Homo-oligomer: A and B are copies of this chain.
Amino acid sequence: MTEQHLQAGPLPSGMQLHDDGRLRHLLTIEGLPRELLVEIMDTAESFVSVQAKTVKKVPLLRGKTIVNLFFEPSTRTRTTFELAAKRLSADVLNINIATSATTKGESLLDTLRNIEAMFCDMFIVRHADSGAAHFIARHVAPHVSVLNAGDGSHAHPTQAMLDMFTIRRHKGDFTRLKVAIVGDVLHSRVARSQIHALNILNTAEVRVIAPRTLLPADVEKLGVHVFNDMDEGLHDVDVVIMLRLQKERMQSALLPSAHEYFQLYGLTNERLKAAREDAIVMHPGPANRGVEIASDVADGSRSVILEQVSNGIAIRMAIMSMVTGAAQ
């Protein structure tokens, strides 16, 4: 699969919905209607209670086959989807493409057609290239749904939805919230998806805080206020979303040392005082303690990082049951 393949043709966000507006694929948050985001969160709410039960399992997807199609390894992400699928009673297949079919020279499309022909119902796609999930969604059979589990620096919609769900459970109404996203926005698929989701949900103010080198050129067009200074940016916010700093960025001279980065953009309790007293702190994990976030903040009373993980299972159960038409 070449970049050319992936970029070929437009990426109509409408392809994510059935004609009647129901969710078919989840590839990107961009372009989705507000009601759908709310429906996802409402559905997830019903699965939160399932997780608290002794028997954490419902038979909604019994007899369905869900395939984790991972073109780059990610145990964390794979695990959350696998757990969500199993708790819906689906059968799960883990296929690591890098180490299998492509070594036989089989093309991606042939692989897809093959797995489809085995009557699989859903592909969870993780890929290092932006647009990979779209490419796959554009070519799958009518009975197959595709969920994007992260494609390059493009999108990570389930992560964004679990973040929205976590914010809603703590803060309720988005229209009165100030939310700051801090860190490497430029390379972050998570940030991109979060910004779209926050704006669709009519968040009062979405801010990004980062050095210029870690911001996209036209970042304001995404509908955010830009801050290069941490203390200014955190002033009076209700939610602080920290991004993970990829170590590779530091080596590529986009960044000073980890120590210097922490001095300027690391989240400490001291710095957090600029935010509202009841502000919550989020991070998609795994956190680089002492680089983008101080350990006592990550483990502190305002941190909802582990709730994000828990909510991630409920959100994925919700999306899986919605695309298969099984949601209650």
Taken together, the copies of this chain in the complex come to 3
Q: Is A3 an interface residue (CB 8 A)?
A: no
A95-B114 contact, Cβ under 8 Å, with A56-B64, A119-B51: no
Once the chains bind, are A55 and B65 in contact (CB under 8 Å)? no
Chain B residues with CB below 8 A from A312, complex form: 118
Once the chains bind, are B119 and A310 in contact (CB under 8 Å)? yes
Residue on B nearest A109 in the bound complex, by CB: B299
Residue on B nearest A80 in the bound complex, by CB: B118
Q: Is A83 an interface residue (CB 8 A)?
A: yes
Chain B residues with CB below 8 A from A310, complex form: 117-119
Once the chains bind, are B106 and A286 in contact (CB under 8 Å)? yes
Once the chains bind, are B313 and A119 in contact (CB under 8 Å)? yes
Once the chains bind, are A75 and B101 in contact (CB under 8 Å)? yes
Once the chains bind, are B247 and A105 in contact (CB under 8 Å)? yes
Once the chains bind, are A285 and B79 in contact (CB under 8 Å)? no
21 pairs of residues in contact across A and B, judged by CB atoms under 8 Å: A53-B63, A55-B62, A55-B63, A57-B62, A57-B63, A57-B91, A65-B83, A73-B100, A75-B99, A75-B101, A79-B118, A83-B91, A104-B286, A106-B286, A110-B285, A110-B287, A113-B306, A117-B310, A118-B309, A119-B310, A119-B313
